[in-house]
Structure 1
Amino acid sequence: MKCNVGGIDRVLRILVGLALIGATLMGWINVLGWIGVVPLLTGVFGFCPAYTLLGIKTCKVN
C-alpha cells in the first residue's frame, strides 16, 4: 500500500474519526458514529482505498 493521504488530510481524518468515536462513547450520537473508525484508520495508515479508485493523491511523497 502506497501512501496516498498526506499532511492536512491525515490530521483532519484522525480528528474527525476521534470526534465521531468520542461522541458515540459519550452517547451524543447513535451507534452509526462508529463509522469514525474508517477515517481514523485511513488517517493513521495514510492510505485510502477510495482515493486509489478515484486516482486522487494528496501525499507529496512518491
Structure 2
Amino acid sequence: MTVNMGSADRMIRAIVGVVLIALVFVGPQTPWGWIGIIPLATALVGNCPAYSLLGIKTCKKK
C-alpha cells in the first residue's frame, strides 16, 4: 500500500479516533464510539481507501 495521507491529516485522524473511542468509556458511553477505530487505523497505516478511490493525496510528493 502506498501512503496517501500527509502528517497533518494523519494527526487529525488519530485525535478524532481516540476521542471517539474515549466516548465508549466516558461521556454518553455509547457503542457508536467504536467507529473511531476506522480513522485511528487509517492514521496508523497512512493509507485511506476513500482517498485511493477518489485519487486524492495529501502527502508531499517525493
TM-score computed with the length of structure 2 as normaliser: 0.90
Aligned residues: 62
Q: 2-side partners of 1:45 and 1:25: how far apart?
A: 25
- Consecutive unaligned residues of structure 1, counting only runs of 5 or more, are none
Q: 2-side partners of 1:58 and 1:29: how far apart?
A: 33
Q: What is the Cα deviation at residue 49 of structure 1? A: 0.4
Q: What is the Cα deviation at residue 9 of structure 1? A: 0.4
Q: Which residue pairs with 2:15 in the alignment? A: 15
Question: Where does structure 1 differ by over 2 angstroms across 4 or more consecutive aligned residues?
Answer: none
TM-score computed with the length of structure 1 as normaliser: 0.90
Q: 2-side partners of 1:9 and 1:51: how far apart?
A: 12
AA aligned opposite 1:28: P
- Tell me the C-alpha RMSD between the 2 structures: 1.3
